[in-house]
Amino acid sequence: MTGGSGDQTRVDARTFLREIVSIPSLSGRERPVAERICAQMTAWGYDRAFIDEAGNAVGLRQNGPPAREIVLLGHMDTVPGEIPVRIEGASLYGRGTVDAKGPLAAFVAAGARAALPPATRLVVIGATEEEAATSRGARLAAAAYRPDFCLIGEPSGWDGITLGYKGRLLLDYHLARAMGHTAGPETAVAEEAVAFWQEVQAFCRRFNAEKPRLFDQLLPSIRHIESGSDGLIDTVSLKIGFRLPPDFDIDQLKRACREHQAAADLSFYGAEAAFHSGRQNPLYRALSQAIRAREGRPVPKLKTGTSDMNVVGPVWQCPIVAYGPGDSALDHTPHEHLDLEEFDRSIEVLVDVLQNLRN
C-alpha cells in the first residue's frame, strides 16, 4: 500500500475489509480470517506477519532500533448471525463490519500507510475470542508485549474516542427439584427463578440509587432462560450478565446472590473489572488533533459493554483508548453495516496519529 495513490489505497482498503467480512470467524474459529489478514499485511509491506500461539494475526513494522512500541489491538471474531455481505449506497453490510472487522481493517491499512517515526516499533494484532468470555488472544498479547501506547479497535465513530468500558460478571443459575402437582403447595422451580431475578434487580436498584451516570451503575440482564421436566424432576436455568461499574466489589454481589437462593447451584465466571483511561494522555490528544484537522469535533465516550481494554489495560498501564469506525448501536444486530466513507476517514486519522504521536 505504501506509495500508492490516495484513490487506489482507499479501494485496496475497502476491498480488504469486504474480503475479511466475507470470511466467517466465530469465536474459536478465526484461523481462515487470520490467514487472510496476515497475507494482506505481507502484501502491504509489513516486516513480518504471523499467527501466534493464541491464533492471533500479528503484523510487525519497525523503523530502526525501537525505543518505543505502539500496539494496535483489534479482534477478528464475531458473534453468530449471517448477514448477506453487500454494498448498499455507501455502506458495507455484513456480520463484523462494525464489531469489529471495520476497526481492525482500518488498523491494518493505517499501519501499512504510516511513515513511522524513527525508533518506533508498530504491532498490529487481530485477536481471537474477544466475543467470548475467554479473551484468549488479548490474554496472550498482554503477556507477550509491553507497549508504550495502545489503541483498541472498537467502534467509536470516526470522531469518537472511547476512554473506558464497564466490567463484566456472568452467572449461571440452575435449580432442580422433584416434580410436584401444579395444584400443590410447593413453589414451582420456574417461579423460584423469577423470584431470584427480582431479588437481583432489587439489589441493583439499591446499589444504583443516587448514581445518575450509567457508567457508575450495576446493570443486570438475563442472557438465557430455560425450564423443563422429565416427568420426575423439574429444572430451570438462567444465565445472568452483570455490567460492573468502576471499583466494584464483586464478592459483595456474589454473597448477595447466594443469600437469596441457597437451594440453587450458582456458578460465577468471566469476571473483568471496569477500566477507565483519562483524557490527559498523548493518545487522546493525538486523536483529538487528527479529528479536528479533518473538521471533526472529538467526542469522548464511556461504554457500558466490555472490550479487550479490560484485559490488557490493567497489565500494560500505558496510555490506552479505543478507536474505530462504526456505530456501536449496530453491534450484534441484524442490521450491522459500516459507512465506507467513515472507514476511509478513520484510516486517515490513524495514519496521522501514528506519524505524529509524541510522548
Task: Cite the active site residues.
Answer: 77, 130
155, 100 Cβ separation under 8 angstroms: yes
Choose among 289, 15, 336: nearest CA to 159: 289
Paired with 101 in beta bridges are none
- Cα dihedral sign, 114-40-130-140: negative
With residue 120 as reference, give the H or E element that holds it.
strand 120-127
Paired with 326 in beta bridges are none
- Cα dihedral sign, 354-356-357-359: positive
147, 70 Cβ separation under 8 angstroms: yes
Choose among 174, 295, 290: nearest CA to 236: 174
- What's the rounded Cα separation, in Å, for the pair 201 and 222? 11
Q: Which three cell numbers stand for residue 242?
A: 452483570
Q: DSSP labels for 16-64? A: HHHHHHTS--BTT--HHHHHHHHHHHHHTT-SEEEE-TTS-EEEEEEES
Paired with 325 in beta bridges are none
183: exposed, middle or buried (C-beta count within 10 Å: 0-12, 13-18, 19+)?
exposed
Centre a 10 Å sphere on the Cβ of residue 79 and count the other Cβ atoms it contains: 15
